[in-house]
Structure 1
Amino acid sequence: HSADYFDFAGCADKEAAVKLLQEAFDNGLIEKVTYDAKRALHLLTPLGIKLEALHDDVLLQAYLLDGERGNYDLLELGCSYLNSSLMADRENALAQAADITLQLCDQLNPRMSEMQVDKVYRDIELPIVPVLYDIERAGFLVDTKVLAELSVVMDAEITRLTQAIYQLAGREFNVGSPAQLGDIFEELNFEVSKRTTTGKISTSRDVLDELAEKYELPRLIIEHRELAKLKGTYVDAFPSLVNAQTGRIHTTLNQTIAATGRLSSTDPNLQNIPIRTEMGRRIRRAFIPADGCVLLSADYSQIELRLLAHVTQDPVMLESFKHNEDIHERTARAVFKARTPEELKEKRRVAKIVNFGIAYVIGPFGLAQRTGLSRHEAKKVIEDYYATYKGVKKFMDELPQQARDAGDIVRSIYGRMRRLPDLSNRNGQLRARAEREAVNMPMQGSASDIVKLAMLHVDAALKREKLHAKMILQVHDELVFEVPRDEVERTGTVVKEAMEQAIKIDVPLLVEIGLGDNWMSAKP
C-alpha cells in the first residue's frame, strides 16, 4: 500500500479542495474503508461530500470480533494485528493511519468470515451507521423553561428532605458526606450487616435499602441522593448541552461500547434518565417536538421475554405468547397460585419482577431484594418458576457448557458473538458471573439485533412512503420520532408494521405506539 497526506486545513482554495474530495468520496465505483464511518459522516456531510460505496469499517470489525476488548484505538489495533506504530510527525502519521486502516481491513475480513460475524456486520452494523448519524444530526428539541421550573421544584423538595433528615438525626450534618452519615448511624445505634474496612458503618445503596426496611432516616437519605443526582446530572446539566443554533440536544450513539450489541448514549446520556420515579419522568417533559409536529414513541412489548420463549423453546411460554396471553398473569397463576382478581392484581406485580429477573439470571438474594420476599421464599419462587417453565430451566442449565464447548463464546440469534473467557476460569465467582452473562446474551444480544434491524426497516419504509418523520432517539427497546401532525396516522402504521416484521421468530413481536406533545406523555 502507499498513502499520501493532503493538508485540507492549510489549503488556500477550499472550494477546489472540496471538489477534489467530492470526486473521490461521491464516486460509487470507488470502495471506501473507514475507521469510524459515523465520525467521517459528521466531517464530510457538512461540506456537501457524500460517503458513497462504504465497503468496510475496521472499528466495527474489531468490535464484532471482540466486544470485550474495550480499547479500539486505531494505534492499538495496528499494534495488535499488524505490529505497527505511527510515525512521530503529523503528516506522515495521518497518511500512515490511512494505510493502517486499509491493512487492518485486509487482516480482519477473513477473521470475520472465520468467526461467522460477517452476517451481523453486513446486515446490521455497517448499514445502520448512516441511520445513527441522522439521529445524532437531528437532535431532540428541549424546552429549557421546563427544566428551570423543575430545578426550582427539586430545590424545594431537597430542602424539605434535608430538614426532615436533620430532625430524625437530632442534629445538622453534611447529608452528602458518607463519613458523616456513618457517624449519625453510629449515634443512633443502627444495626447493620456491613461495615467498611476501617470498621465504620457502610452507607452504600444496598446497606441503605436494608436499613430503610426498619428505619425512616435511611429511606429519606435514599430519596435525597436520588433527587440530588437527578438535579445535578440531568436537570441542571442539560441546558448547557443544548446546541445554540438548533435548540436541541445532540447525543452521541455508540456502537462499540456494550459487549451485548446494545447502543449506548453519551454527551449526554439520554438513555439513562430514570423513569421509575415521578421526578425522573418529569424530566422527559422538557423534550418536545418542533412546531407542527408531535412525538411518536414506538416500544417493543416484552421483547426479551419473547426472545426467552424463542431461544428456550419452552412450550408453556411459547403457547402463552402465541395466544397473546398476559405472561405476567400466567406466571402469577402458575407460580403464586393466584386465583381471585385481587390475588392476580397483587401477584402479577411480583410475577413481572420474576419474569424479567429470570431473563437476567437473578438469584434468590436479588429476587428477595426486589420483591420484599424473604430469601427462603424467593428460592421457592424460583424453583416453582422453573417447574412451570421447564424449557427455560433446561436452557439455563445447558448453555454455559455449550458456550465452553464453542471456545467460551455465546451468540445472539443473528450470530453476534460475545467472548466470555471467564467461563473457564478456576475462580468460582468469576466463572458464575460469566455463566450469568452467557445465559443472558441470547436475549439481550438478540434484542439489540432486532431493534437495529427495526431501525433499518423503519428508515427504509419512511423513505419509501415519502413520509417526513424523523427518528430522533433510540432507548433500548424504544424508538422516538418527531412526526408532522398531518402524517401521524400513516407514520404510526408504517413504524409499527416495520418494527413488528423486522425479523421472524417463533412468537409474535408486538409494538406499542404512543403519541404526545412531550416525551413523557408520548410513552405508550
Structure 2
Amino acid sequence: QAVAPLARTPAAAAEAGAHRAAYETIVDEADFARWLAKIEQCALTAFDTETSSLDPFAARIVGVSFAVAPGEAAYLPLAHDYPGVAAQLPREQVLARLKPWLESAQHAKIGQNLKYDQHVLANHGIRLAGVRHDTLLQSYVLEAGKDGVRGHDLGQLASRHLGLATISYETLCGKGARQIGFSQVAIEQASEYAAEDADLCLRLHAVMYPLIAAESGLRHVYEEIEMPVRDVLFRMERSGVLIDGELLSRQSREIGQRLLDLESKAHTAAGQPFNVNSPKQLAEILFDRLGLPVKKKTPTGTPSTDEEVLSELALDYPLPKILLEARQLAKLKGTYTDKLPQMVEATTGRVHTSYAQAVAVTGRLASNDPNLQNIPVRTAEGRRIRAAFVAPPGSVIVSADYSQIELRIMAHLSEDQRLLDAFAQGEDVHRATAAEIFGLPPAEVGAQQRRVAKVINFGLIYGMSAFGLARQLDLERGAAKAYIERYFARYPGVAGYMATTRETAKARGYVETVFGRRLWLPEIHSPVAARRQAAERAAINAPMQGTAADLIKAAMIAVQGWLDAEHLQTRLLMQVHDELVLEVPESELPVLRREVPRLMSELASLRVPLVVDVGAGRNWDEAH
C-alpha cells in the first residue's frame, strides 16, 4: 500500500518546498534519453540511490536521482511496487545504459555518503567511478565537533547551511513496526524526496566546498586524506575477512561454562544466591549485606554498580573482582563468539564490517556491525577471538602496526630535546623516561619503575592528573604529584607544549593535527570547571590522536595505491587503531614485509623516525 500524500497547507507547502518546484520524474524513454544527455554533458552531477534496505550488501535499487544544477533535479523510479503503481522503465535495461556513465572516471559525481551507493551499485555489477566530492565528508572536515553541530546527515546540513526544511524518510515511510519499504512509497512523493536529496548535494557543495578550499590544511585533509580513503574503505568492506566459525563456537561453549563457574563463585562470596545481572540485587548484596563502601550513585540516588565502581572495589574485595571478570566474559560472548559466526555473509563466506568516517571528531574510523576495533588484545580470551580471523589456504595474515605513534607525535609537537634524542637513538622510551624521573642509569631501571614511567608517558598524553596517576598506580597523591613534577622538570618541552596548546585552544576555539585537521573544542570557555578542564585535556590529546588517525588513513591510501600499481593480489582487510591487517598470498610475503613498513614510515616528515612493526601468521593473533 502506498503512503498517502504529504499533509501540508498550500501556503506552508509553497514556502517549505519552493526549491522543489522544477523537480521532474523520469517516466518514459524520452525523459530518460534527455536526462542521460544532461548528465553526460554536466561538469559535476549529484547522484543518489533509493534502495530496498540499509544493509549495503542486501540493498537493491528502487530508483535513482540526479541533479545537474541547483533546483534542476529528477528522480528515475525503477522498482516501486504497490497496487496501482504506474509503469516504470525496466530497471536492468536502465542500469545497463547508465553503467558507462556510472563507471566513467571522467564524469565527475557528488553525493552524500557515496560509499553506501557504491556498495548498492556493486550489488548490481556496476563499479562506481568519478566520485569527486561527498557532502558528508565536507561537513565532517569543516565542522566536526563544532558548537551547535549535532550531525552530518543531509537534513541537518540543509537546515544548518541552507535554511531549508527537508522531507524526512520517516515522513514517507513511517516509523518502527509500521514502517514500509521505499518501494511501497507512492512515486510522486518518492520523486520529491529523492530529487531533493540530489539537489541539496549540489547546493551544499556550493556553500561548504569554498570554505574548505580557502584553508590549505582543511583542503589537504579533505582532498588528500578523506576522499581517497573513502574508496579504500569501500574495497576493504567489500573484501571482508574470513573467520573460523568452529573455533568461535568452541570458545563460546568454554566461556559459557566459565560464566557458570564464576556465578557459583559469586554466590559463595556473597553468602547467598542472587541474580548477577540485576543491578538492584547486586547493590543490595554489595552495599547492604556486605557493607562495601558506596563509590558513586545513579541519577535516581541508588548506589551505582557500573564497571568503574566494580573496578575500584575489585582492588580490595573479592566479589567485585569476580563480577567484573564475568561481565567482561559475557560481553565477549555476546558481542563476538556468539555473534560473529551469525554475521558471515552467505554470498562471500566472510564477515564484512562497515567503517564510518564521519563519527569521531579526532578523525579516527569507527567499525560497526561487527565492531572489529574493540576486541581486547590484552586478555587471553580476546587473543583467542583474534585467532579466529584467518587466512585462506595459500595465504597469511599480515599485521603492520605503528610503534608508540602518539608518543612519537608528542615528541614531534613538543620538540623536547630529551624525548627527540630517545626516539632518534632507538631507545626504549619508557625506560629512558624512568631513568630521567628516578635519576638512574637506564640499565638499572627496574620493571616497576618502567611501569610508572609508561603510565606517566601515556597518561600525560590524555591529560591525566596527579589524582588519576595515584589511582592507576595505587600511590599516595603526593607521590604521584612529585613524579609528574619531576617528569616536567626533565622534559620542559612537553610542559611548554601543553601550556601553549591550552592558550591556542582558548584563543581559536580549536587545535590542529600535523596534517591540518581542525579539532573543535566548544567547551574550552565553559563556566563549568569540569567541562572546561575536560576541553583543556582534549586540546592536548586531540592533536596527537588526530595526527595518528590522519597518518593511518594516509598509510591505507599509500599501501592500496602501491598494491594496485604492482598488480598484487594482497588485500587490505582491516584498520584497527594504529594497525593495518592484510591478507597476503604466501608468494607475495617477502615483498610485503619489505615495502609496507617503508611506505608507512615515509609518509610524514616528523622530527622522530616512524617505526612500523610487521608480523605474519595463519591468523590475526599470530600476526600481531
Shorter-chain TM band:
over 0.9
Q: Find the counterpart in structure 1 of residue 79 from structure 2.
A: 9
Q: Does residue 482 of structure 2 align to residue 380 of structure 1?
A: yes
- Secondary structure class of the residue paired with 2:488: helix
Distance 1:79 1:419 in 2: 21
Contact 2:221–2:516 at 8 Å: present in 1 too?
yes
Task: After TM superposition, give the deviation of residue 199 of structure 1 in Å.
Answer: 5.9
**For 2:155, which of 75, 82, 89 is the aligned residue?**
75
Q: Find the counterpart in structure 2 of residue 152 from structure 1.
A: 253
Q: Find the counterpart in structure 2 of residue 173 from structure 1.
A: 274
Q: Find the counterpart in structure 1 of residue 213 from structure 2.
A: 113
Aligned pairs for 1:108-257 (under 5 A) are 108-116=208-216, 117-185=218-286, 186-196=288-298, 200-257=302-359
Q: Does residue 395 of structure 2 align to residue 315 of structure 1?
A: no
Are residues 29 and 518 of structure 1, via their aligned partners in 2, closer, same or farther at CA, if it must alter by over 3 Å? closer
Contact 1:301–1:510 at 8 Å: present in 2 too?
yes
Cα shift readout 1:265-301 (whole Å, capped 9, x = no counterpart): 0011000111221112111111111121100000000
Cα shift readout 1:155-206 (whole Å, capped 9, x = no counterpart): 1211111111111111100111122111112212223443456665432223
Q: Find the counterpart in structure 1 of residue 52 from structure 2.
A: none
Distance 2:605 2:398 in 1: 24
Distance 1:27 1:198 in 2: 59
Using structure 2 for the length normalisation, give the TM-score.
0.81
Q: Find the counterpart in structure 2 of residue 20 from structure 1.
A: 97
- Secondary structure class of the residue paired with 2:383: helix
Once the two structures are overlaid, the 10-residue window that deviates more, 340-349 or 77-86, is: 340-349
Cα shift readout 1:389-408 (whole Å, capped 9, x = no counterpart): 111111111212112222x0
Contact 1:243–1:250 at 8 Å: present in 2 too?
yes
Structure of greater relative contact order (alpha carbons < 8 Å, 6+ residues apart): 1
Using structure 1 for the length normalisation, give the TM-score.
0.96
Distance 1:148 1:4 in 2: 50
**For 1:487, which of 559, 571, 588 is the aligned residue?**
588
- Secondary structure class of the residue paired with 1:508: coil
One-letter identity of the residue aligned with 2:327:
R
Q: State the identity %.
A: 40
One-letter identity of the residue aligned with 2:78:
F
One-letter identity of the residue aligned with 2:241:
F
Distance 2:154 2:616 in 1: 43
Distance 1:253 1:307 in 2: 25
Distance 1:110 1:503 in 2: 27
Aligned pairs for 1:443-454 (under 5 A) are 443-454=544-555
Q: Does residue 111 of structure 2 align to residue 31 of structure 1?
A: no
Task: After TM superposition, give the deviation of residue 478 of structure 1 in Å.
Answer: 0.3
**For 1:46, which of 113, 123, 128 is the aligned residue?**
123
Contact 1:131–1:455 at 8 Å: present in 2 too?
yes
Are residues 138 and 391 of structure 1, via their aligned partners in 2, closer, same or farther at CA, if it must alter by over 3 Å? same
One-letter identity of the residue aligned with 2:497:
F
Q: Find the counterpart in structure 2 of residue 357 from structure 1.
A: 459
Unpaired runs of 5+ residues, structure 2, are 1-68, 81-87, 173-188
Q: Find the counterpart in structure 2 of residue 506 from structure 1.
A: 607
Distance 1:334 1:6 in 2: 69
Distance 2:266 2:442 in 1: 41
Contact 1:462–1:494 at 8 Å: present in 2 too?
no
One-letter identity of the residue aligned with 2:560:
D
Q: Find the counterpart in structure 1 of residue 539 from structure 2.
A: 438
Q: Find the counterpart in structure 2 of residue 477 from structure 1.
A: 578
One-letter identity of the residue aligned with 1:441:
A
- Secondary structure class of the residue paired with 2:582: strand
Distance 2:293 2:441 in 1: 39
Distance 2:417 2:556 in 1: 30
Contact 2:401–2:612 at 8 Å: present in 1 too?
yes
Distance 2:128 2:231 in 1: 10
One-letter identity of the residue aligned with 2:531:
L
Contact 2:432–2:442 at 8 Å: present in 1 too?
no
Contact 1:70–1:257 at 8 Å: present in 2 too?
no
Q: Does residue 175 of structure 2 align to residue 98 of structure 1?
A: no
Q: Find the counterpart in structure 2 of residue 271 from structure 1.
A: 373
One-letter identity of the residue aligned with 2:563:
L
Contact 1:469–1:481 at 8 Å: present in 2 too?
yes
One-letter identity of the residue aligned with 2:309:
V
Distance 2:472 2:379 in 1: 16
Distance 1:304 1:182 in 2: 39
Are residues 60 and 393 of structure 1, via their aligned partners in 2, closer, same or farther at CA, if it must alter by over 3 Å? same
Cα shift readout 1:392-440 (whole Å, capped 9, x = no counterpart): 111111212112222x011101110111121122221111111111111
Contact 1:142–1:248 at 8 Å: present in 2 too?
yes
Task: After TM superposition, give the deviation of residue 55 of structure 1 in Å.
Answer: 1.7
Q: Find the counterpart in structure 1 of residue 133 from structure 2.
A: 56
Q: CA RMSD in A?
A: 1.7
Are residues 28 and 465 of structure 1, via their aligned partners in 2, closer, same or farther at CA, if it must alter by over 3 Å? closer
**For 1:429, which of 521, 527, 530 is the aligned residue?**
530
Task: After TM superposition, give the deviation of residue 45 of structure 1 in Å.
Answer: 2.6
Distance 2:326 2:89 in 1: 58
Q: Find the counterpart in structure 2 of residue 336 from structure 1.
A: 438
Distance 2:409 2:246 in 1: 41
Distance 2:576 2:326 in 1: 26
One-letter identity of the residue aligned with 1:435:
E
- Secondary structure class of the residue paired with 1:127: helix
Are residues 317 and 16 of structure 1, via their aligned partners in 2, closer, same or farther at CA, if it must alter by over 3 Å? same
Task: After TM superposition, give the deviation of residue 110 of structure 1 in Å.
Answer: 1.2
Q: Find the counterpart in structure 1 of residue 386 from structure 2.
A: 284
Distance 1:38 1:216 in 2: 49
Unpaired runs of 5+ residues, structure 1, are none
Are residues 443 and 215 of structure 1, via their aligned partners in 2, closer, same or farther at CA, if it must alter by over 3 Å? same
- Secondary structure class of the residue paired with 1:273: coil
Task: After TM superposition, give the deviation of residue 122 of structure 1 in Å.
Answer: 0.6
Cα shift readout 1:347-394 (whole Å, capped 9, x = no counterpart): 212222221111111112222232222322222211111111111111
Tell me which structure has the larger Cα radius of gyration.
2
After the TM superposition, which segments of 4 or more aligned residues of structure 1 sit over 4 Å from their partners? 195-200, 338-343
Corresponding residue pairs, total = 522
Q: Find the counterpart in structure 2 of residue 403 from structure 1.
A: 505
Distance 2:326 2:361 in 1: 33
Contact 1:338–1:347 at 8 Å: present in 2 too?
no
Distance 1:96 1:509 in 2: 47
- Secondary structure class of the residue paired with 1:298: strand
Contact 1:462–1:491 at 8 Å: present in 2 too?
no
Q: Find the counterpart in structure 1 of residue 164 from structure 2.
A: 84
Cα shift readout 1:99-119 (whole Å, capped 9, x = no counterpart): 111111111111113454111
Contact 2:435–2:445 at 8 Å: present in 1 too?
no
Distance 2:274 2:443 in 1: 48
Task: After TM superposition, give the deviation of residue 499 of structure 1 in Å.
Answer: 0.7
